[in-house]
Amino acid sequence: MTTKRPKSLGRRRLPAGEPCGTCHMGLRRLGIDTTDWDYVVALAGNPNTGKSTVFNALTGLRQHVGNWPGKTVARAEGGFEYEGQKYKLVDLPGTYSLLSASTDEEIARDFILFGRPDCVVIVMDATVLERNLNLALQILEITDRAVVCLNLMDEARRKGIRIDDRSLARDLGVPVVPTVARTGQGMEELIAAVAGVARAKVRTRPHRIRAAGEAARSVDELAGLIESAYPGLPNARWVAMRLLEGDKRVENAITRGELVELATETIEPVGAGASLAEAEQ
Ligand SMILES: Nc1nc2c(ncn2[C@@H]2O[C@H](COP(=O)(O)OP(=O)(O)OP(=O)(O)O)[C@@H](O)[C@H]2O)c(=O)[nH]1
Ligand SMILES: [Mg+2]
């Protein structure tokens, strides 16, 4: 079953949000209230980079925890309000890649591709930037709606690592926000960047690796066919590349009609049997 994502919502009375020490930044943590929303934001990143810490900082202590449909992998969802608009935040499993080598990778990739989030926050460990760039570049191949959360900046500083975040933002083509999620440092800038991308106020130009020669021509040709079969699909080029590499999951998605859903803007609802949980802080 799929649920239409509400296009625009009339302002309604919001439930009392959790008291938070961050209301001055225009943030209101909504905990489990993700009944309707203006934007969907996914948190992606390598394992142990601070995704759940960012999630908790933005949504508060209460969250939906269920399983991903048909999987035994936990799925956490929460909500926050920023400048009068509601955001649903989905915490994806930590992965090193999106090439579907594991269930976790498949879940993360499917959500970024088929869930069509309005913004993907790529949480990176600033102490091991190179290792984290692999996943970041794969995400930027799929979506141009992304923000990099350069986390663990305190650890990086402690180790004497200095990162030119402006150059990184220029090279990746998306906003880069240095953060220390554990203390809340940088969260204000992160939310503002996420809102800018989700509302399409901030233009991104994600770094993409271009194929050359015959391969480039094949990608272009196939992407053209996919675009005409599924008008409105935002990432036909990526789908074409995966098909040319023989990716069975993407092949199945086409034959099962998931790309049609994607092109008509539908989204999977929260998994059945979702329960309430108190997050660890
Ligand atoms: N020093 C420091 N520690 C942090 C920061 N952000 C998170 N941590 C800590 O890093 C550890 C991992 O954080 P999580 O939020 O669980 O990371 P995660 O990405 O959700 O991990 P997985 O879900 O297992 O992939 C925890 O002990 C956090 O308290 C930070 O900015 N600085
Ligand atoms: Mg986590």
pLDDT tens per residue, range 233-243: 778 888 898 89
**DSSP secondary-structure letter at 23?**
G
pLDDT: is 113 or 33 the higher one?
A: 113
Quote the pTM value.
Answer: 0.81
The string of pLDDT tens digits covering residues 190-225 is 999 999 999 999 999 999 877 788 888 999 999 999
Residue among 43, 46, 48 whose CB has most ligand 1 atoms within 8 A, to mutate: 48
Distance 48 CA to ligand 1 centre (A): 5
The string of pLDDT tens digits covering residues 40-62 is 999 999 999 999 999 999 988 66
- Long-range contacts formed by 68-76: CB under 8 A, 24+ apart: 68/107, 68/271, 69/268, 69/271, 69/272, 71/103, 71/107, 73/103, 73/104, 73/107, 75/107, 75/270, 75/271, 75/274, 76/52, 76/277, 76/279
Query: If you average pLDDT over residues 127-150, what whole number do you get?
Result: 95
Whether residue 87 has pLDDT greater than 70 = yes
168 band by pLDDT with thresholds 50, 70 and 90: very high
Q: Is 189 in the pocket of ligand 1 (CB under 6 A)?
A: no
Token pair, residue 141, equals 């191949």
For ligand 1, atom 13: residue with the closest CA: 50
Distance 247 CA to ligand 1 centre (A): 32
Distance 74 CA to ligand 2 centre (A): 10
Whether residue 24 has pLDDT greater than 60 = no
